[in-house]
Amino acid sequence: MTRPAPTHAAVVLAAGASRRLGRPKQLLTRDGETLLHRAARLAAASGALRTVVVLGARRDAMQAALAGLDVESVFNPDWEQGLSSSLHAAARALDDFDGSVLVLGCDQPALDGAHLSALIAGASWSPGACAATAHGEALGIPALIPPALWRQSTGLHGDRGFGATLAAQVPGAVWRLQAPELEWDLDTPADVAVAIERGWIDPDPTATQGL
């Protein structure tokens, strides 16, 4: 069966300062590849027509980590105002794009391409053309956001993403993909220690300290 032509863009949210962790989580590595490069690579490999990476803190180091990838980087000068400001920056960059948008971060080290492919396929089966990762009862990223919902990103404020918007959709409108391993992100040194133990990031991530 012929695979449908891609119709989505991808947005990688990578503007945070990782203050609780004390080092840039984006520059931790898995199999020698930074988590930022890995997330952007997976996003582009999903078949995205465009891949936009939103940068903020440590902009130069993050830009260098994207070397060799066919992605667009945009700077969010308001990154300290929270997640919504990065979504606003992405929306401005995609102002002329009218398709769905695959949104992901770079702090879920267990994320793989199969998960993104499943979301894209799931959205095609969903009445709302929408798919999201289920974190227990909550919905979050990675998620494939249809155009009508993506336009609502400009109305988000503070450190809020699409979670509440997804939860407010009528039952069955959002295709849910359970992935307990993606509930584990990298906010603290203890989180990093567990991720190393599970093989999700490389040992001795202190090599990124101070970057």
- Report the alpha-carbon distance of residue 69 to residue 36 in Å, rounded: 11
Per-chain mean pLDDT for the chain: 91
Q: How far apart are CA 97 and CA 179, in angstroms?
A: 29
| CA nearest neighbour of 181 among 194, 193, 172 | 194
DSSP annotation of 208: G
Alpha carbons 7 and 99: distance in angstroms, whole number:
6
Q: Which CATH number fits domain 8-208: 3.30.70.20, 3.30.1330.40, 3.40.50.720, 3.90.550.10?
A: 3.90.550.10
Identify whether the C-beta of residue 13 lies closer than 8 Å to the C-beta of residue 106. yes
Beta-carbon contacts of 164 under 8 Å, excluding residues fewer than 6 positions away, are: none
User: What pLDDT, on the 0 to 100 scale, is given for residue 211?
Assistant: 42
18-53 pLDDT, tens digit each: 888 889 999 999 999 999 999 999 999 999 999 999
For 85-117, write each residue's pLDDT tens digit: 999 999 999 999 999 999 999 999 999 999 999
With a cut of 80, say whether residue 146 has pLDDT above it: yes
Which pLDDT belongs to residue 71? 98
Residue 184: pLDDT band by 50, 70, 90 thresholds?
confident
Q: Residue 6 has what pLDDT? A: 61
CA dist., res. 202 & res. 32, Å (int): 7
Top-confidence residue, 184 or 50: 50
